[in-house]
Structure 1
Amino acid sequence: MSPFTVTLIEWSATLLSLVGFWLCIRHRAVCFLFFLVADAGWFASAFAGGHASLLAQQSIYILMNVVGYFLWKRDERLKELLEAAEKRALQPSQKPAPAPALPAEATR
């Protein structure tokens, strides 16, 4: 790769990382997709430069982005289910509850 291409990839990865951090601060799961693309750019840059330790680091980051995305989406689904269950539990029932049965001794 030419030095210009590597520099372009690195600056693009930097900008994508910054957008990813902003989305993470805003609690958006899509931040992991931005981080994934950014880390893929850093991986390509490290590969072009022959930096073994950075390749290992970016490989781990890419894996963490994939896992983080799926865990975040799972937690969002669980939160939605919990909120729906709480909403149902807090709604007044449509029909009145039956009166409790009296013990046999109380009716004599």
Structure 2
Amino acid sequence: MEGIWYAHFTSGQLNGDGVAVLRDGIIEGGDPAHTYSGSYQEEGSNLYANVRVSPYAGSSQPADLTHPITFFLKGSVTGNYARVAGHPDNRPEALVSVELRKGL
């Protein structure tokens, strides 16, 4: 899992793209409107992540977040591709899906 990953997220009508760096169980990254920080754990082909997404104050993008949100995600990884899904702040009505492709 360690490396630089291209991330595409979908949450209802919202979607976007960013970059995540995974190293030693730590996630760091961002996109033009957010920063990401958190942790991940890999168990075989299963992937678990706890990611805090914060609004990026220097963004020129319209703000969709007014405060940080924590996402609890789980899914699987196969080679250079991973897919995880979950809910922000334990809100089951707000499903978030993230596709990851490892940079080469």
Structure in which a larger fraction of residues adopt strand: 2
Identify the structure with bigger relative contact order (alpha carbons < 8 Å, sequence gap 6+): 2
Query: Considering only CA atoms, is the larger Rg found in Structure 1 or Structure 2?
Result: 1
TM value normalised by structure 1:
0.23
TM value normalised by structure 2:
0.24
Structure in which a larger fraction of residues adopt helix: 1
